[in-house]
Structure formats: structure tokens, C-alpha cells
């Protein structure tokens, strides 16, 4: 669209993660959104690679299931849930404020995102490690 022209500037995505001097919670949310987004995309591909083992027969799959039950792997599950919560709940926050809803309360909404993420992640941790299915 723009009639705006600018001399070519160096595009530097690393500046997205430059928190030096930043004061608001908004940039932390911005960074968390990007990191969780990248993490979820990586997870999606890992998930597809792992599902492929189903094609290699029961033995290969059982071997993976044994690995998936290890505490270290279960911790990764908790991390995955935390990433989904951060990305999903903050996505709802951003959708709301992009509709012009709750703009003045965006920091309160962010606090709600953080609180819900912490509580639901803690519940997930408890369910994964202490509830016997």
C-alpha cells in the first residue's frame, strides 16, 4: 500500500529478543509468544516423526512408549503443556485487545494469562506424576 519509502534497513529478528532496557510486561509476553510458538512448531514435527514409528511395528512403538514413561520425558510433557497454555491463552488476550476489547486492561489480562498458566501447569504436573491412570 504504502507510499512510505525508506532506505533499506537491516532486518534483525534478534532484536525481538533484546530485552535490554525494556520496561513493560508486554515485551516479555511478545518474547514468550515467539519462543512458545517456535517450540510448538518443533514439537509438531517431532510428534510426526515419532508417530512414524507406528509403521515400524509394535516392537518399535513399545520401545518408544517405555521412553515416554521416563521422568525426564514426562517433564517435557509438562513443558509442552506450559507452552500450549502460554501460546493459547496469550493468543486469546491478543485477539481480545485486537478487537479493541480490554485494551486498557491488557496488563491485567496478561497477569491472568500468567496466573492461569502457572495454575494449570502445576495441576498438569500433579496429574502426570502423581495420579495413577
Q: Which residues bind other proteins (CB under 8 A)?
A: 1-9, 11-13, 15-16, 18, 20-24, 26-27, 29-30, 33, 94, 97-101, 103-104, 106
User: Which residue's CB is nearer to other proteins, number 4 or number 72?
Assistant: 4
Nearer to other proteins, 8 or 71 (CB): 8
| Closest CB 117 distance from other proteins, rounded Å | 17
Query: Of the two residues 25 and 79, which places its CB atom closer to other proteins in the complex?
Result: 25
Q: What is the C-alpha separation between 29 and 19, in angstroms, rounded?
A: 11
Cβ at position 12, least distance to other proteins in Å: 5
Angle between helices 25-51 and 106-130 (to 10 degrees): 40
Instruction: Say if residues 67 and 58 touch (Cβ distance below 8 Å).
Output: no
CB of 53 or CB of 106, closer to other proteins: 106
Residue 6: CB minimum distance to other proteins, A:
5
Minimum CB distance to other proteins, residue 38 (Å): 14
C-beta neighbour count of 90 within 10 angstroms: 20
Q: Report how far residue 127's alpha carbon sits from residue 133's, in angstroms, rounded to the nearest whole number.
A: 9
Nearest to 124 by CA among 84, 97, 94, 90: 84
Task: Give the number of other CB atoms < 10 A from CB of residue 53.
Answer: 15
Amino acid at each position: 500500500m504504502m507510499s512510505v519509502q525508506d532506505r533499506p534497513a537491516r532486518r534483525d529478528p534478534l532484536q525481538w529478543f533484546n530485552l535490554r532496557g525494556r520496561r513493560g510486561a508486554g515485551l516479555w509476553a511478545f518474547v514468550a509468544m515467539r519462543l512458545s510458538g517456535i517450540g510448538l512448531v518443533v514439537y509438531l514435527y517431532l510428534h510426526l516423526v515419532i508417530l512414524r514409528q507406528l509403521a515400524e511395528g509394535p516392537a518399535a512403538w513399545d520401545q518408544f512408549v517405555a521412553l515416554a514413561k521416563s521422568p525426564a520425558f514426562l517433564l517435557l510433557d509438562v513443558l509442552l503443556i506450559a507452552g500450549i497454555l502460554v501460546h493459547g491463552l496469550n493468543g486469546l488476550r491478543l485477539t481480545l485487545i485486537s478487537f479493541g476489547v480490554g485494551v486498557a486492561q491488557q496488563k491485567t489480562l496478561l497477569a491472568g494469562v500468567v496466573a492461569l498458566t502457572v495454575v494449570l501447569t502445576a495441576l498438569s504436573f500433579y496429574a502426570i506424576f502423581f495420579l495413577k491412570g
